[in-house]
């Protein structure tokens, strides 16, 4: 009887997992790291691959449609990739396919142009280098960045004084937002780099006022595309950078009374929420990724 049971298990491919054995896990490619964008727009990152491993670097601007930008076989040393075409895009994202392994993470950059005056900005990428002191380096005195404290119910200001930020280590995390003031008469660009958060990304949205942004770098309609947890009585306040004024989008009786708010990548907004909620997004790093061993 035992022999017949063992044969049956082998035949259906269970390999003993029903009886407490370890189930094999799908392999993943090495993580992309050290994401950096140079002043000329070139984007760099690195990965460590075993010698002889075929790999493909893919790029995307929407995290859904991916195109190959590099197809090689690893020499066994640290692989460094530089995208010379990155200057053509305001934001772009990258993943690595290696052998039979699926991608393990996505890195990229988001570049935002700030006009003179106020803007509402956001960083949808996670990286320890995304600090105010580094991202907004060399901004003049009078530059400010204000985040909203939902506990104290007030704006907390970070400012450039005597050529230094008062809180240079402050960071903008995915899902957060801030009001930025450009005191110059020029349009100036800033660039965030880092990793895209993909699995079970959840942002708490307090009742009352708060500043929020999409936790993943995708543009679109706030509810229909970006899945914001809207409810009757909520009001979204977008900021028109060119007009330097707020545009209100109330949500009443299951619909928008002044049109659906549309968000750009790297844009934050005020929300007046009737009840607290959570803004949750899930993205698949490996969706649509081919198995290189089958090509």
pLDDT tens for residues 122-176? Answer: 999 999 888 999 999 999 999 999 999 998 999 999 999 999 999 999 999 999 9
Give the pair of three-digit tokens for residue 187. Answer: 């349009």
**Tell me, what's the pLDDT at 119?**
98
| Average pLDDT value over all residues in the chain | 88
How many angstroms separate the CA atoms of 218 and 266, rounded?
Answer: 9
**Tell me, what's the pLDDT at 6?**
42
> Predicted confidence band at 90 (pLDDT cuts at 50, 70, 90)?
very high
Q: With 50 as the cut, is the pLDDT of residue 46 above it?
A: yes
Burial of 128 (0-12, 13-18, 19+ CB in 10 A): exposed
| 8 Å CB contact between 271 and 237 | yes
In which residue are the tokens 């570049």 written? 111
More reliable by pLDDT, 22 or 78 = 78
At residue 63, what are phi and psi to the nearest 5 degrees?
A: 65, 15
Secondary structure of residue 11 in the 3-state scheme:
helix
More reliable by pLDDT, 165 or 284 = 165
Mean pLDDT of 278-292: 78
Q: Which residues contact 88 (CB under 8 A, 6 or more apart)?
A: 41
Q: For the chain, how are helix, strand and coil distributed in percent, rounded to 5?
A: 10, 45, 45
Question: What Rg, from alpha-carbon coordinates, does the chain have?
Answer: 23
Mean pLDDT of 179-206: 95
Q: With 70 as the cut, is the pLDDT of residue 23 above it?
A: no
> Predicted confidence band at 1 (pLDDT cuts at 50, 70, 90)?
very low
Q: Provide the β-strand partners of residue 79.
A: 47
Secondary structure of residue 222 in the 3-state scheme:
coil
Q: In the chain, what is the straight-line distance between the N-terminal and C-terminal CA atoms, in Å? A: 43
**Range with the lowest mean pLDDT among 4-8, 45-49, 58-62, 163-167?**
4-8
**Tell me, what's the pLDDT at 50?**
87
Q: With 60 as the cut, is the pLDDT of residue 4 above it?
A: no
Mean pLDDT of 222-242: 97
More reliable by pLDDT, 290 or 202 = 202
**Tell me, what's the pLDDT at 200?**
82
Q: Which residues contact 158 (CB under 8 A, 6 or more apart)?
A: 132, 144, 145, 146, 147, 165, 166, 167, 170
Mean pLDDT of 19-32: 60
How many angstroms separate the CA atoms of 94 and 112, rounded?
Answer: 19
Mean pLDDT of 56-65: 94
**Tell me, what's the pLDDT at 100?**
80
**Tell me, what's the pLDDT at 144?**
98
User: What are the Cα distances from residue 283, in Å, to 49, 63, 292?
Assistant: 25, 8, 22
Q: With 90 as the cut, is the pLDDT of residue 273 above it?
A: yes
Q: Where do the domains of the chain lie, and which CATH numbers do they carry? A: 33-105 (2.60.40), 112-281 (no CATH)
More reliable by pLDDT, 166 or 16 = 166
Q: With 70 as the cut, is the pLDDT of residue 19 above it?
A: no
Mean pLDDT of 197-218: 94
Q: With 90 as the cut, is the pLDDT of residue 289 above it?
A: no
Question: How many helices, marked H, and strands, marked E, lie in the chain?
Answer: 2, 23
């Amino acid at each position: 009887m035992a022999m017949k049971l063992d044969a049956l298990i082998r035949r259906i491919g269970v390999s003993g997992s029903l009886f407490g054995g370890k189930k094999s896990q799908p392999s993943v490619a090495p993580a992309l790291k050290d994401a950096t964008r140079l002043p000329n727009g070139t984007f760099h990152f690195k990965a460590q691959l075993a010698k002889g491993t075929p790999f493909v670097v893919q790029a995307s601007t929407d995290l859904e449609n991916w195109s190959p930008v590099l197809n090689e076989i690893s020499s066994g040393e640290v692989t460094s990739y530089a995208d010379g075409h990155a200057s053509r895009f305001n934001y772009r994202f990258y993943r690595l396919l290696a052998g039979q392994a699926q991608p393990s993470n996505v890195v990229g950059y988001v570049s935002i142009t700030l006009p003179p005056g106020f803007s509402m900005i956001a960083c949808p990428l996670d990286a320890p280098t995304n600090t105010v002191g580094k991202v907004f380096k060399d901004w003049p005195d009078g530059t400010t960045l204000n985040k909203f404290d939902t506990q104290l119910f007030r704006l907390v200001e970070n400012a450039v004084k005597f050529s230094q930020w008062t809180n240079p280590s402050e960071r903008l995390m995915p899902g957060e937002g801030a009001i930025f003031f450009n005191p110059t008469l020029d349009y100036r660009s800033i660039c965030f780099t880092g990793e895209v958060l993909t699995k079970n990304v959840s942002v708490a949205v307090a009742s009352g006022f708060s500043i929020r942004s999409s936790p993943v770098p995708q543009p679109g309609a706030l509810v229909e595309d970006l899945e914001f947890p809207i409810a009757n009585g909520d009001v979204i306040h977008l900021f028109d950078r060119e007009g330097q004024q707020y545009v209100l989008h109330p949500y009443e009786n299951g619909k928008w009374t002044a049109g659906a708010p549309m968000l750009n990548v790297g844009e934050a907004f005020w929300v007046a929420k009737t009840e607290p909620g959570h803004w949750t997004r899930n993205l698949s790093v490996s969706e649509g990724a081919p198995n290189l061993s089958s090509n």
